[in-house]
């Protein structure tokens, strides 16, 4: 049975850099607070209304196709992970497909927030192993900046998020020394409302009201401290589960790429796994939290800088709204 391997990667962020200091025009915050609590120094935001997530994904896909020396017509399938779709429906996968001009191939949308790329990777890996599809475009793309609460209640979440897209093209390999070794996915819906966006919603009637808008129910809300604690514990557990499934331990890890929600979360995970600085990669200082895009953006940067090389044992892990979380083990 073949495994999935990464054929190529790419990413794209909008041109507009937004520094922590600039955020002070909307929120009572400071560069020092944001750096100390989160590690974020800047993020990229779209020009409002000019670019949707699928536009960012298109640029990232073009980069990955060029590097793979492939044409979009060679893709068999699109898997698109996002919590900020261009529209409520249809899913963003079809918009990206239309922009790529490859009609007919399936486009699956994944709604697992910060863990979306890993859920998508698990699906792509299964489809490649079973020979259902040979060339899968896996996307994580977000536009958060147009959905932030610029009022006082939005301060805690508003400073965290950035826009961006990262993609991977996956294909089969028969080599037994590389590829996706396994994926490990988890969820616990008991905590759904600790990080969520309440409206508009088909579970409510009306789906959205003027009162909802006045009360800010259209914005994401988070109980940050609770989420922080769970993020550390669940990512740790799932990394150990992924390594344990192969009789490996933290000492075998060449590179850990964790979801970029808060540098402090990743520092605790690094400490608990006892990993040296050269065994982990973080880029949240430059991009903020780009949700489903954080892992593919980080992977692409590691490929381009040479930190990911043939033979590297890579561990990916993520945690987010749902709660959902998971890990993947990849021999590059």
Active centre residues (catalytic): 114, 259, 289
- Burial (CB < 10 A; 0-12, 13-18, 19+), residue 216, is middle
Q: Is 301 helix (H, G, I), strand (E, B) or coil?
A: helix
Task: Choose one: 104-112, 132-140, 167-175, 219-227; the region binding ligand COA (CB under 6 A).
Answer: 219-227
**Residue 118 sits in the site that holds ligand COA (CB under 6 A):** no
Cβ distance to ligand COA smaller for residue 225 or 276: 225
**Residue 262 sits in the site that holds ligand COA (CB under 6 A):** yes
**Residue 265 sits in the site that holds ligand COA (CB under 6 A):** yes
List 162, 320, 322, 326, residue binding ligand COA (CB under 6 A): 320
Please give the backbone phi and psi of residue 243, each rounded to the nearest 5 degrees, phi first. Answer: -65, -45
From 8, 12, 9, select the one nearest 142 (Cα to Cα). 12
Distance (Å, whole) CA 283 – CA 132: 34
**Residue 25 sits in the site that holds ligand COA (CB under 6 A):** no
Q: What helix, strand, coil percent values describe the chain, rounded to 5? A: 40, 25, 35
**Residue 82 sits in the site that holds ligand COA (CB under 6 A):** no
Judged by CB under 6 A, the number of residues near ligand COA is 20
Q: What angle do CA 265, 266, 270 make, to 5 degrees?
A: 125
Q: Footprint of ligand COA on residues 140-159 (CB under 6 A)?
A: 155-156, 159
**Residue 289 sits in the site that holds ligand COA (CB under 6 A):** yes
Question: What are 138's strand-pairing partners?
Answer: 79, 168
Q: Are residues 162 and 44 in contact, defined by beta-carbon separation less than 8 angstroms?
A: yes
Q: Are residues 136 and 117 in contact, defined by beta-carbon separation less than 8 angstroms?
A: no
**Residue 224 sits in the site that holds ligand COA (CB under 6 A):** yes
Cβ distance to ligand COA smaller for residue 183 or 289: 289
**Residue 228 sits in the site that holds ligand COA (CB under 6 A):** yes
List residues near ligand COA by CB under 6 A: 27, 29, 33, 37-38, 114, 155-156, 159, 195, 224-225, 227-228, 231, 261-262, 265, 289, 320
């Amino acid at each position: 049975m073949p495994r999935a391997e990464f054929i190529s990667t790419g990413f794209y962020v909008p041109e507009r850099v937004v520094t922590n200091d600039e955020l002070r025009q909307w929120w009572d915050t400071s560069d020092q607070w944001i750096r100390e609590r989160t590690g974020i120094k800047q993020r990229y935001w779209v020009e409002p209304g000019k670019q949707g997530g699928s536009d960012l994904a298109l640029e990232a896909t073009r980069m990955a196709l060029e590097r793979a020396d492939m044409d979009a017509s060679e893709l068999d399938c699109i898997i698109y992970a996002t919590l900020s779709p261009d529209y409520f429906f249809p899913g963003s996968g079809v918009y990206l497909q239309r922009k790529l001009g490859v009609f007919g191939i399936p486009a699956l949308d994944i709604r697992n927030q910060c863990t979306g790329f890993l859920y998508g990777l698990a699906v792509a890996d299964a489809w490649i192993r079973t020979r259902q599809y040979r060339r899968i475009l896996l996307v994580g793309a977000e536009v958060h900046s147009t959905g932030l609460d610029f009022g006082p209640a939005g301060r805690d979440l508003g400073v965290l998020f950035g826009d961006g897209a990262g993609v991977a093209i996956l294909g089969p390999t028969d080599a037994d020394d590389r590829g996706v070794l396994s994926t490990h996915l988890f969820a616990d819906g008991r905590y759904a409302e600790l990080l969520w966006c309440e409206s508009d919603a088909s579970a409510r009637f009306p789906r959205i009201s003027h009162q909802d808008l006045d009360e800010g129910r259209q914005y994401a809300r988070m109980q940050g401290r609770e989420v922080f604690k769970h993020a550390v514990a669940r990512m740790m557990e799932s990394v150990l589960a992924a390594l344990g499934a192969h009789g490996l331990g933290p000492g075998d890890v060449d590179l850990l790429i964790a979801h970029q929600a808060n540098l402090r979360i990743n520092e605790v995970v690094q400490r608990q796994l006892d990993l040296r600085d050269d065994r982990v990669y973080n880029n949240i200082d430059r991009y903020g939290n780009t949700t489903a895009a954080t892992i593919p953006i980080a992977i692409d940067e590691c490929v381009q800088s040479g930190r990911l090389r043939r033979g590297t044992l890579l561990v990916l892990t993520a945690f987010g709204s749902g709660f959902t979380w998971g890990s993947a083990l990849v021999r590059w």
